[in-house]
Every structure is written in C-alpha cells, then in structure tokens.
Amino acid sequence: MNSINLLPGWALSAANMAPLQLALQSSLPAFTVYNHELPPMQMSSLETDLEQLAASLEPGWLMGWSLGGTLAVQLLRRFPERFCGAVTIASNACFAARADWPEAMPADTFKAFFSDAREKPERILKRFALLACQGSEDARELTKQLQWSDADPLQRLNHLALLGVLDNRIHLRRATQPILHCLAAQDALVPASVAAELQALNPQARVRVHPEASHALPLEQPEWVAQQIAEWVRQT
C-alpha cells in the first residue's frame, strides 16, 4: 500500500498540506502522496460520511492535521482492511478537555469559540489563524500563508462540532495498526504536554514533539514532519 492520504485541519484548504506533500514525495519516492479536501460532514450522519470519505481515499496510509488527524483515527478504526496506519499531526485524542482528559483545550474555551463561530463566522477565521500560528518564530508571516477551504459557514460549524465531540481514546487504545503522533511544543491549541497521555493510551504508538513549532506544524516544519513519517514508515 504505497499511497499516502493527507487530510487538512478545520476550515483549512488542502493547499496548506502542499509543502508536506512535496516533502513526503522527496522523503518517500516509492510512495504516491494524495492531498484531499475535507468533505461536508456532521454528527447526525457521521457513519455515512466516513464511509463516503473512506471510499474517496486511496488504500494505504492516513495522515491528518488537527481535525484531519481526528478523522484519520476514526477511518483507521472502521476500515482496517483499507488503511494500514495513521499519522496525527498537531492532533489530540480529545480536542476539548474532559474531566479525565485535561490536556486539551478547556471546555469553556471551546464552547466560547464554537459560539463565536456560529455568530461571527468570518471573524472567527482570523482568530483561529492567530491561534494556529501562535508560538511560531514568524507567526505573522505564517498567518498570511494559511489558506481557507471553500466550506460555507454551516459546514465549518459542523466540522467544529465534530472536533469538539469526537473522542478517539478508545480507538487509539485498541488500535493494532501503526500510529504516529507528531506534536509541536509551542502549540496553542493542542498542548504538547499531551504527549505522555497519548503514549500511555497505546505504548506501541510513536510520539514525536517538535521543540519550537506551532499548531501550524505541517506548514511551518514540513521537512521535519516528513522526516518523522519517513523514518516511521520504513521501520514499520
């Protein structure tokens, strides 16, 4: 299965994954790397939506940024015969904190962000861009590089609801396929301190943390991410 599927994060275009796509093609020349947009999805039709998403992807490896990583784990659990492993990039087992999973965005912060996304759909993108790039050495320039998806405000809100509700802890704990988590030490949305918890969920998984990058890890440090993936895939 020499195919790699890339999935972007919330509200973001697949174009943001192009630097990582190029880096992976260089690091893993025997693989074909496909860059996909996130389709419309919502909790009420999640099973059907995941089936349709799986059918649109190439059999092989799943690699996703933030929400894309959350969905990659969901797909890996449901379609193990189609996908052989998953990489999550700046992605958490639970994006919003739970009482028994505090290393995540505080629940009240997420609720406020969701409310703003519903009431001020255009302004929330600017706020998200600032958060995604916060911690980068060149946050202002990185913010300018972010490209938004063509999803309408309702689709973005539905995607955000998925991000807040989905809980991948059981899936990660029971996973038998290989999993790699790439985190960033300066991430303002997914705390790097969750690394130990992710490792504890599945001791067979590999966890790597970039010492300086922000949540925009695949756009900010594509060569580093590609290096971690290439080493992991070869060893796997």
Compute the C-alpha angle 102/106/109, nearest 5°. Answer: 175
Q: Two tokens at 76?
A: 């890996």
Q: Two tokens at 94?
A: 């639970």
Task: Indicate which residues carry an active-site annotation.
Answer: 66, 187, 215
What is the residue type of 175? Answer: A
Q: Are 118 and 152 in contact (CB under 8 A)?
A: no
CA pair distance 3, 19, nearest whole angstrom = 17
Q: Two tokens at 214?
A: 């922000």
Q: 33: closest CA among 225, 236, 235?
A: 225
Backbone angles phi, psi at 106, to 5 degrees: -55, 140
CA pair distance 197, 194, nearest whole angstrom = 5
